[in-house]
Amino acid sequence: MFDSLKKKLQTIRDKFTSNIEEAAGTEPVPPVVEVPEVAEPAPSRVLLPEPPVSEEVLEKEREEPTFFNKIKVLVREREVLLQEKDIEEPLSELEMVLLENDVALPVTDEIIARMRRDLVGRHRKIGSSVDGLVVTTLRSALCGVLGEGLDLREYIAGHERPVKILFTGVNGTGKTTTVAKVGHYLQKNGFSVVIGAGDTFRAGAIEQIRTHADRLGIKVIQHQAGADPSAVLFDAVQYAKAHEIDVVLADTAGRFHNRANLMNQLEKIRRVMKPDLVVYVDEAVAGNDAVIRADEFNKAVGTDAVVLTKADMDPRGGAAISVAHTVGKPILFLGIGQGYDDIMPFEPRAMVNELLGDEA
Amino acid sequence: MLDNLGASLKDAVKKLAGKTVIDRVAVDELVRDLQRALLSADVNVKLVMQLSQAIKQRALEEEPPKGMGVREHVLRIVYQELVRMMGTPGEVTLGPQTILMAGLQGSGKTTTTAKLARYFQRKGLRVGVICADTFRPGAYDQLKTLCDRIGVACFGDPNESDALRIVREGLPRFRKQYEVIIIDTQGRHALEENLIEEIVSINEISRADHRWLVIDAALGQQASEQARRFHAAIGIDGVLVTKMDGTAKGGGALSAVAETQSGIVFIGSGETIEDLERFDPDGFISRLLGMGDLRALVERAEEAVSAEDLDVNAMLKGRFTLRDMYKQLEALNKMGPLKQIMSMLPLGSMQIPDDAYDITSTKMQRYKVIMDSMTPPELDDPSVIGSSRIQRIARGAGVAPDDVRDLIKYYKIMQRALKGMRGMGSGKFNMQRMMKKFGRTQ
C-alpha cells in the first residue's frame, strides 16, 4: 500500500525543489539574509528546521555592513520570493497525483490550498534548504490530515469491561471479515472476545460469522435471520457481562447512508447496546464516495475510529487520507489480506515518514 | 458538494448561451468544471484528461452547424464525447449461455448473480446457478437462500474447497437441464496471482460465453488497474455496476469499460432481488455530471402511470384534489424511491433537504391510509374538512389528528407547487421553493 503514492510524491518533491531553485535564480546566490523590515509569516503547525544559527550570524556579519548590500539583498529577495506562478505547475501536478491515488477532490483541494498557503511567502528565508521546506510543508499537510493513531489494546486496558465495539459501514466493505480479524487480534493479545451476529439481513451472513468464529474458537451470540439486530447485540453484551468477557464485537448489516430507515435502525442499535467504540469500516479502494458516506455515518451514529479494508488490493491508499480527513477520527487498522492475521494497526506518523522517504 | 459541482457546470454552460462566437475563456471554464465533476465521480484521471482535451479541441475548432447555437454546439460535443467514452451498452442475448462472474471482494457478485438469475428467469429462460466461491464462509448459504427465494436451482458444496471441481461437476449436470448458467466466483483482486490462475482455469473449464466483471460504484482510481488485469486474464466482455443506490457515481466503471473495451451490461441499484436495470448511457451521464436526465424520468413515469391514472392537465389547471394526490402517491411508489426520481429531474443545482425524501415509504403509506378514511366529498373538496371531520378521519384511520392536519398541509403545499409549475414555461420554476416547504413539513 501507498507505494505508488510514495514514488509519485518523491518525483513531485524533486520538481518543487527544482522549480523553487529556479525561482531563486541561477547565479551563485549569496546566502540570503533575513531583512528585519519584512515581517515573516508565522510558520503554521510544524516548526521549520531552523538553519544553524551560527552560520546565519556569520553571514549577517559579512553582509550587513554596507547599505548597498542591504539593498542588494532586498532586491535579490524579491527575486527569490516565490510567486504563486512558480509553484503552480508542480502544485497542479501534485493535485493530479493525489487524485490519481484516490484522495477525494475536496481533500485534495485542501491539501493543495495548505501547500500553497505555506509555500508562497515562507521560502524567502530558506533559500538554501528548499528541499527541507517542501518536505516539511507536505508532511505537515499530510500529518494534519491523517491525525493520530489509536492503540486498541491500550484503549481496552484503560476501560471498564466489557468493552463494546460496534462495526458499521456500507455493503461489501468487509465488516464481517474485519470482526473476525479483530477478534483474532484481540485473542492473540490476551483478551477474551464474544461476537454478536448483528447482520440478520444478508443471506448467509450469520453462517459466515459463525464459521469464522468456530475456526477461531470465539463464542457467537446469534438469533435467526431477520431478527432485530438490537436484540441480538443486547444479548451479546449481557452474555459478556455474565461471563466476564473483555470485549464484545458487534457485527451489523451493511447499509447505505441514504436509507433513512436503515440508519435509524443503526441508531437504535447504538442506543440499545451503548457501544464504547463505533468503528466505521470502509475499503481502501473506494473513491470519492468514501468521503460522502463516511460523513453521513459519522453524522448518523458517530464514529470513533476507522478500519480500512482491502488495503492489499491497492498500492495507493488515498482513501485512507480522505476518510481520515473527513471523519477526523483515527484509523485503527488496515485490512491487508484474506487470512486472519492480515490486519495491521495503523500508525500515521510512520506512514507519512515512509511516504516522504525520510525523517524530518 | 456534488450538487455544487452540477451547479457550477450549469453556470459554465449558461455562459455559453446566447454567444455567437465560441469564447475560449468560457470553454476553458466549462472544461475545467467538467473535469472536476468527472474526477469527483471517480473517473480515471487520464481518461478525464483525454476527454477534456478532445472536447476543448473540437469546441474551438469545429464550426457550429447552421442554425445551432454555440451552447447547443458545445453541449453536443460534450455529450458525444462522453457517450464515446462510455462505450456501447453491453449486449445481452436471451438464449442459452454460460456467464462467469468475476470481481473484487465485496463488490456484490453473489447478490448480482441472484439478481441476474431472476432477470433471465423473468424473461422465460431456465436458469441454474453454480456457486464456485469455496473460500468465503457462508457464501454458499447466501446464494442458496437467495436462489431458493426465486426458485432457481443452485449447485455447490460448502465443504468442498476446490472451486474447479465444483464447476467440473456442476456444469455438465446443469447444461442438460438449464439454458442459462451463471457461475458465481470468489472475490479476488488482481494482485493475488493464485486466485487469478484459479479464475483462468474456471474460465477454461466452463468455456463461458460471457465473462462479466462486477464493479462497485464506489470503486475509485483502482478500477482501471483491476479491470486491466482481469481483462488480461480472462477477457472481460461486460461490466456490471453495483451499489448504484448509494451516493457513489460509478465513475470507476467507466475506467473499467475503457480498459476492457467492453460495455456496461447491468446496473444494480437496490437490495432486493428485482433491483437490476439494463444500462442506460443517458442516465449514467447525467448522474456523473450531477445534471438531471428528464428523458429517463419521463420514460419511467410512462411505464408506471397510465394516462387515466393521472390527469396532468387538470392538475396543471389547478383542479388538484386529494384524489389526485392519492393517485400521485401511488404512482410515485410505483416509480421508486423519491430520491431516485428527484435525481433524474434537472434540478442538479438545487439543495434538496435530505429529510424531504424520507416521506417515501412510511409517510406515504400513512397518507394513503388517512385518505382511505375520507368520504368522497372530502376527497373532491378538501376545504370542507373541519376539526370534527378531522377527528373522525383520525379515528377511522387509527392516527393522531395531527397526522391528518399534516396531510392537509402537505396537500396545500402540493397544490401551491403545482400552481407554481404552471409558470414553468416562462422560466419560473418553483420547484425549489416547493421542496423547501416540503422539507419543513416533515
In a domain, B354, yes or no: yes
Mutation choice for A interface testing from B3, B5, B39 by most A CBs within 10 A = B39
Interface of B with A in 23-82 (CB under 8 A): 36, 39-42, 45
Report the residue from B108, B145, B246 with minimal CB separation from A289: B246
Q: Which of A146, A173, A192 is the last residue of a domain?
A: A146
Quote ipTM for the complex.
0.70
Rounded CA gap, A56 and A75, in Å?
19
Which pLDDT score is estimated for A194?
96
Same domain, residue pair B109 and B51: no
Same domain, residue pair B36 and B110: no
Tell me what the pLDDT averaged over chain B comes to. 78
A325 at the B interface (CB within 8 A)?
no
Rounded CA gap, B213 and B97, in Å?
16
Number of domains in chain B: 3
Set of cell numbers at residue A244:
466476564
Same domain, residue pair B273 and B305: no
A96 at the B interface (CB within 8 A)?
yes
Same domain, residue pair A106 and A202: no
Same domain, residue pair A333 and A210: yes
A101 at the B interface (CB within 8 A)?
yes
A264 at the B interface (CB within 8 A)?
no
B67 three-state secondary structure:
coil
Mutation choice for B interface testing from A289, A297, A309, A314 by most B CBs within 10 A = A289
What is the H or E stretch that residue A168 is in?
A: strand A163-168
CB contact under 8 A, A96 and B42: no
Same domain, residue pair B299 and B314: yes
pLDDT tens for B44-100 read: 888 889 988 998 898 888 877 665 667 667 777 777 788 788 777 778 888 999 999
**Helix, strand, coil tally for chain A in percent (to 5):** 55, 10, 35
Same domain, residue pair B130 and B111: yes
Instruction: State the Cα angle at B223 between B220 and B225, rounded to 5°.
Output: 130
In the predicted structure, residue B226 carries a pLDDT above the cut 80: yes
Report the residue from A202, A206, A310 with minimal CB separation from B105: A310
Set of cell numbers at residue A243:
461471563
In a domain, B91, yes or no: no
Q: Which of B30, B63, B86 is the last residue of a domain?
A: B86
Interface of B with A in 80-139 (CB under 8 A): 104-108, 110, 135-139
What is the H or E stretch that residue B392 is in?
A: helix B387-397
In chain B, the largest separation of any two C-alpha atoms, in whole Å, equals 75
Q: Which residues of B touch A173 (CB under 8 A)?
A: 106
In the predicted structure, residue B27 carries a pLDDT above the cut 80: yes
Same domain, residue pair A199 and A304: yes
Which pLDDT score is estimated for B79?
76
B219 at the A interface (CB within 8 A)?
yes
In a domain, B92, yes or no: no
Rounded CA gap, B114 and B183, in Å?
10
Q: Which residue has the higher pLDDT, B220 or A79?
A: B220
The CATH number that applies at residue A257 is 3.40.50.300
Which pLDDT score is estimated for B305?
45
Q: Which of A126, A146, A166 is the last residue of a domain?
A: A146
The CATH number that applies at residue B366 is 1.10.260.30
Same domain, residue pair B144 and B266: yes
Report the residue from B110, B219, B354 with minimal CB separation from A285: B219
Range among A82-86, A120-124, B316-320, B404-408 rated most confident = B404-408
A–B CB contacts, 8 A cutoff, strictly below: 158
Residue A333: domain span = 152-347
Same domain, residue pair B181 and B249: yes
Q: Please choose, from the candidates A100, A289, A284, A9, the residue with its C-alpha nearest in 3D space to the C-alpha of residue B45.
A: A100
> What residue type is A43 in one-letter code?
P
Same domain, residue pair B300 and B252: no
In a domain, B38, yes or no: yes
Same domain, residue pair A202 and A63: no
**Cβ(B403)–Cβ(B434) below 8 Å:** no
The β-bridge partners of A247 are A163, A193
In the predicted structure, residue B432 carries a pLDDT above the cut 70: no
Low-confidence ranges of chain A (pLDDT < 70): 1-6, 16-17, 19-86, 121-134, 314-317, 354-360
Residue B62: domain span = 2-86
In the predicted structure, residue B184 carries a pLDDT above the cut 60: yes
